[in-house]
Amino acid sequence: MASEPFVITKLEKHGQAALLKNLRKVSMLKRPDVFPYADAHLSLARMPFSGVLPAQRYVLSDVMHRVQNLEWELSRFGVDLFALDGYVTIWTDQSPDEPIDVLPPIVESMSENNGQWVNIINDGMHRMYVARLEWKIPQVVFIQGVPPEYPYYSYPIPGDNCWDVIEVLEGGRIPSGLIKKWRRIPDDKTLYRNFNSSFTNVGGPRGQG
Protein backbone atom coordinates (compact mmCIF):
# COMPACT_ATOMS: atom_id res chain seq x y z
CA MET A 1 0.00 0.00 0.00
CA ALA A 2 1.28 3.46 -0.87
CA SER A 3 2.40 5.66 2.00
CA GLU A 4 0.08 8.39 3.23
CA PRO A 5 0.62 11.86 1.73
CA PHE A 6 2.44 14.26 4.03
CA VAL A 7 1.70 17.92 4.67
CA ILE A 8 4.44 20.53 4.94
CA THR A 9 3.86 22.48 8.14
CA LYS A 10 6.84 24.84 7.96
CA LEU A 11 9.39 25.83 5.32
CA GLU A 12 12.63 27.82 5.22
CA LYS A 13 14.32 28.93 2.00
CA HIS A 14 18.08 29.01 1.44
CA GLY A 15 19.66 30.72 -1.55
CA GLN A 16 22.13 29.53 -4.15
CA ALA A 17 25.17 30.73 -2.19
CA ALA A 18 24.20 28.68 0.87
CA LEU A 19 23.53 25.62 -1.29
CA LEU A 20 26.90 25.73 -3.03
CA LYS A 21 28.78 26.53 0.19
CA ASN A 22 27.29 23.48 1.92
CA LEU A 23 27.92 21.24 -1.09
CA ARG A 24 31.63 22.00 -0.88
CA LYS A 25 31.54 20.57 2.66
CA VAL A 26 29.99 17.24 1.58
CA SER A 27 32.35 14.40 2.47
CA MET A 28 32.77 10.86 1.24
CA LEU A 29 30.73 8.32 3.22
CA LYS A 30 33.69 6.17 4.24
CA ARG A 31 36.26 8.99 4.14
CA PRO A 32 34.86 11.86 6.20
CA ASP A 33 38.16 13.70 5.69
CA VAL A 34 37.70 13.81 1.90
CA PHE A 35 35.51 16.47 0.26
CA PRO A 36 35.01 15.64 -3.45
CA TYR A 37 33.30 18.94 -4.30
CA ALA A 38 35.64 21.26 -2.40
CA ASP A 39 37.47 22.54 -5.49
CA ALA A 40 34.94 21.55 -8.16
CA HIS A 41 32.97 23.98 -10.32
CA LEU A 42 29.40 24.12 -9.00
CA SER A 43 26.49 25.83 -10.70
CA LEU A 44 22.72 25.72 -11.02
CA ALA A 45 21.59 24.83 -14.54
CA ARG A 46 18.51 23.76 -16.45
CA MET A 47 19.35 20.44 -18.08
CA PRO A 48 17.22 18.71 -20.74
CA PHE A 49 17.02 14.95 -20.51
CA SER A 50 18.89 14.51 -23.77
CA GLY A 51 21.97 15.79 -21.94
CA VAL A 52 21.66 13.76 -18.73
CA LEU A 53 22.28 10.03 -18.24
CA PRO A 54 20.72 7.95 -15.45
CA ALA A 55 22.61 5.18 -13.69
CA GLN A 56 19.63 3.70 -11.86
CA ARG A 57 17.68 1.20 -13.95
CA TYR A 58 14.35 1.47 -12.12
CA VAL A 59 12.04 3.87 -10.30
CA LEU A 60 9.48 3.01 -7.61
CA SER A 61 5.90 4.13 -8.14
CA ASP A 62 5.46 4.84 -4.41
CA VAL A 63 8.45 7.19 -4.43
CA MET A 64 7.24 8.87 -7.61
CA HIS A 65 3.90 9.66 -5.95
CA ARG A 66 5.76 10.94 -2.90
CA VAL A 67 7.83 13.24 -5.11
CA GLN A 68 4.62 14.54 -6.70
CA ASN A 69 3.16 15.10 -3.22
CA LEU A 70 6.31 17.05 -2.34
CA GLU A 71 5.95 19.11 -5.52
CA TRP A 72 2.34 20.00 -4.73
CA GLU A 73 3.08 20.78 -1.09
CA LEU A 74 6.00 23.06 -1.99
CA SER A 75 3.78 24.92 -4.45
CA ARG A 76 1.55 26.02 -1.53
CA PHE A 77 4.57 28.00 -0.31
CA GLY A 78 5.34 29.40 -3.75
CA VAL A 79 8.29 27.05 -4.25
CA ASP A 80 8.90 25.10 -7.47
CA LEU A 81 10.49 21.70 -6.80
CA PHE A 82 12.11 21.82 -10.24
CA ALA A 83 13.47 25.36 -9.86
CA LEU A 84 14.55 25.70 -6.23
CA ASP A 85 17.22 28.37 -6.89
CA GLY A 86 18.95 27.05 -3.77
CA TYR A 87 17.43 24.58 -1.34
CA VAL A 88 14.66 24.47 1.25
CA THR A 89 14.27 23.03 4.73
CA ILE A 90 10.85 21.59 5.47
CA TRP A 91 8.97 20.14 8.41
CA THR A 92 6.03 17.79 7.86
CA ASP A 93 3.08 16.50 9.84
CA GLN A 94 4.62 13.02 9.69
CA SER A 95 7.88 14.11 11.34
CA PRO A 96 7.14 17.46 13.01
CA ASP A 97 10.40 17.54 14.98
CA GLU A 98 12.72 16.48 12.14
CA PRO A 99 13.78 19.12 9.60
CA ILE A 100 14.42 17.82 6.09
CA ASP A 101 16.59 19.55 3.47
CA VAL A 102 15.35 19.37 -0.11
CA LEU A 103 18.07 19.96 -2.71
CA PRO A 104 17.97 20.09 -6.50
CA PRO A 105 19.05 16.88 -8.24
CA ILE A 106 22.82 16.47 -8.38
CA VAL A 107 24.43 15.91 -11.80
CA GLU A 108 28.16 15.26 -12.19
CA SER A 109 30.22 15.61 -15.36
CA MET A 110 32.81 12.88 -15.78
CA SER A 111 34.87 11.05 -18.38
CA GLU A 112 34.06 7.40 -19.06
CA ASN A 113 36.41 4.62 -20.16
CA ASN A 114 35.94 5.36 -23.86
CA GLY A 115 36.93 9.00 -23.34
CA GLN A 116 33.39 10.33 -23.65
CA TRP A 117 32.29 13.00 -21.21
CA VAL A 118 28.86 12.36 -19.70
CA ASN A 119 26.54 14.09 -17.26
CA ILE A 120 25.39 11.46 -14.77
CA ILE A 121 22.64 11.72 -12.16
CA ASN A 122 24.22 11.32 -8.74
CA ASP A 123 21.18 12.12 -6.61
CA GLY A 124 17.54 12.77 -7.47
CA MET A 125 16.64 10.01 -9.92
CA HIS A 126 12.94 9.96 -9.00
CA ARG A 127 12.65 13.74 -9.19
CA MET A 128 14.27 13.70 -12.63
CA TYR A 129 11.92 10.95 -13.79
CA VAL A 130 8.85 12.81 -12.52
CA ALA A 131 10.05 16.00 -14.23
CA ARG A 132 10.31 14.04 -17.47
CA LEU A 133 6.75 12.77 -17.08
CA GLU A 134 5.60 16.37 -16.58
CA TRP A 135 7.51 17.67 -19.63
CA LYS A 136 9.66 19.94 -17.50
CA ILE A 137 13.33 20.85 -17.82
CA PRO A 138 14.51 20.61 -14.21
CA GLN A 139 17.06 22.80 -12.53
CA VAL A 140 19.97 20.75 -11.20
CA VAL A 141 23.26 21.30 -9.45
CA PHE A 142 25.83 20.75 -12.20
CA ILE A 143 29.22 19.68 -10.86
CA GLN A 144 32.39 19.69 -12.96
CA GLY A 145 35.94 18.89 -11.91
CA VAL A 146 35.42 16.17 -9.28
CA PRO A 147 38.79 14.46 -8.67
CA PRO A 148 39.03 11.48 -11.04
CA GLU A 149 39.83 9.13 -8.16
CA TYR A 150 36.29 9.74 -6.85
CA PRO A 151 33.97 8.92 -9.76
CA TYR A 152 30.28 8.22 -9.26
CA TYR A 153 30.03 4.66 -7.96
CA SER A 154 27.98 3.28 -10.88
CA TYR A 155 28.20 3.53 -14.64
CA PRO A 156 25.54 5.50 -16.52
CA ILE A 157 23.15 3.53 -18.71
CA PRO A 158 24.57 3.62 -22.26
CA GLY A 159 22.62 4.28 -25.45
CA ASP A 160 20.35 6.95 -26.88
CA ASN A 161 17.26 5.30 -25.39
CA CYS A 162 18.60 5.01 -21.82
CA TRP A 163 15.55 6.72 -20.30
CA ASP A 164 13.20 4.32 -22.07
CA VAL A 165 14.75 1.19 -20.55
CA ILE A 166 14.08 2.27 -16.95
CA GLU A 167 11.54 0.01 -15.25
CA VAL A 168 8.69 1.49 -13.22
CA LEU A 169 8.17 -0.86 -10.27
CA GLU A 170 4.83 -0.86 -8.49
CA GLY A 171 4.90 -0.45 -4.75
CA GLY A 172 8.12 -0.20 -2.82
CA ARG A 173 9.69 -3.56 -3.50
CA ILE A 174 12.65 -4.29 -5.77
CA PRO A 175 12.56 -7.79 -7.31
CA SER A 176 15.37 -10.13 -6.35
CA GLY A 177 18.01 -10.31 -9.05
CA LEU A 178 17.19 -6.93 -10.62
CA ILE A 179 20.34 -5.07 -11.69
CA LYS A 180 19.71 -1.76 -9.98
CA LYS A 181 22.98 -0.15 -11.10
CA TRP A 182 26.17 -1.41 -12.74
CA ARG A 183 28.82 -0.85 -10.10
CA ARG A 184 32.33 0.43 -10.88
CA ILE A 185 34.18 -1.42 -8.11
CA PRO A 186 33.40 -4.23 -5.62
CA ASP A 187 33.27 -1.94 -2.58
CA ASP A 188 31.21 0.75 -4.27
CA LYS A 189 30.31 2.40 -0.95
CA THR A 190 33.85 3.81 -0.83
CA LEU A 191 32.71 6.13 -3.66
CA TYR A 192 29.46 7.26 -1.98
CA ARG A 193 29.03 10.96 -1.30
CA ASN A 194 27.51 11.60 2.13
CA PHE A 195 25.14 14.51 1.56
CA ASN A 196 23.99 14.28 5.15
CA SER A 197 27.48 15.33 6.22
CA SER A 198 26.54 18.90 5.28
CA PHE A 199 22.73 18.84 5.04
CA THR A 200 19.94 17.47 7.24
CA ASN A 201 17.93 14.33 6.45
CA VAL A 202 18.48 14.57 2.70
CA GLY A 203 16.15 12.03 1.13
CA GLY A 204 13.43 12.48 3.76
CA PRO A 205 9.87 12.49 2.43
CA ARG A 206 11.05 11.67 -1.08
CA GLY A 207 12.07 8.20 0.10
CA GLN A 208 15.52 8.56 -1.47
CA GLY A 209 13.97 10.29 -4.47
What is the per-residue pLDDT across 29-82, written as a single tens digit (0 to 9) for each?
999 999 999 999 999 999 999 899 999 999 999 999 999 999 999 999 999 999
Nearest C-alpha neighbor of 44 from the set 112, 117, 116, 144: 144
Domain residue spans in the chain?
Answer: 8-182
Q: Is the pLDDT of residue 206 over 50?
A: no
pTM of the shown model: 0.93
Q: What is the pLDDT of residues 74-94, one digit of tens each?
A: 999 999 999 999 999 999 999
Q: If phi over 0 gives left and psi between -120 and 50 gives alpha, with beta otherwise, what is residue 171?
A: left
Task: Output the average pLDDT for the chain.
Answer: 93
Pair 57, 178: CB distance under 8 Å: yes
**44 and 140 in contact (C-beta within 8 Å)?**
yes
Supply the CATH classification number for the domain 8-182. 3.90.1530.10
Strand partners, 155: 182
Q: Which of 149, 153, 143, 84 is nearest to 119 (CA)?
A: 143
Tens digits of residue pLDDT in 160-188 = 899 999 999 997 778 888 999 999 999 99
The whole-angstrom separation of Cα 15 and Cα 27 is 21
